[in-house]
Chains A and B, each alone.
Chain A
Amino acid sequence: MATVELLFSALPEHVRTARLVAAAVARRAGVDEAVLDEVRLAVGEACTRAVGLHMSHGLNSPVRVSLIEDEKKFSIEVGDDAPHRRFSLPGGTLGASASAAPSANGDGGGKGGGPGGGLVEAEGALLPGARDEIPEPVAEEDEGDGEMGLAVISGLVDDVEVTTDEHGGVIRMSWPTIEPVLP
């Protein structure tokens, strides 16, 4: 189990909280003080990206942050629930159904509440689903900061791994710890 786990609603105002918690746990775990700024920035970028993905897909689920203290390293995993369509089958039925219900709910309103609502929702989601052909959401004018965020992470962190599938993605990062910290 992770040393500390954090779930937060996918809203921009909570990213700072995740940064502060991650830096505090990293410090306690023995990550070098000189590297804490990098930890703070990297986890902020990962959480910002996850928040952006959840918002653009209309997901209500929280962003997950796991802070894991091992003997010689400190790891952070940031998980999102956004379907990454690049890995879906042609036609993308898997990804579409995964994202269908939340985005249909996000549209709100009373529509689609009739009998066989599940089927209606699934069909309705074909429209927003088409938008998902774009691999990553791109902010209106800002050079697609989701991708810039990944660029920052890979420039900062030596040990980083990004995995994605139709159910979501995880960014794993780790830093060496210098010495065990006594309680």
Chain B
Amino acid sequence: MDLSLSTRTVGDRTIVEVGGEIDVYTAPKLREQLVELVNDGSYHLVVDMEGVDFLDSTGLGVLVGGLKRVRAHEGSLRLVCNQERILKIFRITGLTKVFPIHSSVDEAVAATD
């Protein structure tokens, strides 16, 4: 299982749909994608993780890196996730306090803070 990435825009938000496994091998691809988006001027990101089967601390690190990048441009990075096994990792590491986590892309796109 590899990592799949696709992006689309909804208004001023860029949705990054992630599928597969985010680990030490695949996380660099996600990092590249986030860096590229920010470099291209997309500062409001929604990372849709509903298709993610596995996430580890390397993936968390990349998401934190992405958050730092968008914040440097007064942007935002929101997550969409309903999977308990993925949410658990955010809770263990205290990152539920750092990332806004939404139950749907629509909710994330509508959110303003």
Contacts and interface: CB of A to CB of B under 8 A. Distances in A.
Contacts of B54: 19, 40-41, 44
Contacts of A37: 85
A51 B25 CA distance: 11
Contacts of A142: 58, 61-62, 64-65
B60 A148 contact: yes
A148 B93 CA distance: 8
B60 A145 contact: yes
A26 B7 CA distance: 37
Interface string A129-144: 0000000000101110
Contacts of A12: 23-25
Give the interface size bracket for A toward B.
Answer: 20 to 34
B61 A13 contact: no
Q: Name A's interface SS.
A: helix
B21 A152 contact: no
Contact of B56 (A45, A52, A139, A155): A45
B68 interface: yes
Contact of A155 (B60, B61, B93): B93
A2 to B, nearest CB: 23
A152 B61 CA distance: 12
B57 interface: yes
Contacts of B1: 16
A19 B56 CA distance: 11
Interface of A: 12-13, 15-16, 19, 37, 40-41, 44-45, 48, 51-52, 139, 141-143, 145, 148-149, 151-152, 155-156
17 contacts: A12-B23, A12-B25, A16-B25, A19-B54, A48-B57, A48-B58, A141-B68, A142-B58, A143-B64, A143-B65, A145-B61, A148-B57, A148-B93, A149-B56, A152-B89, A152-B93, A155-B93
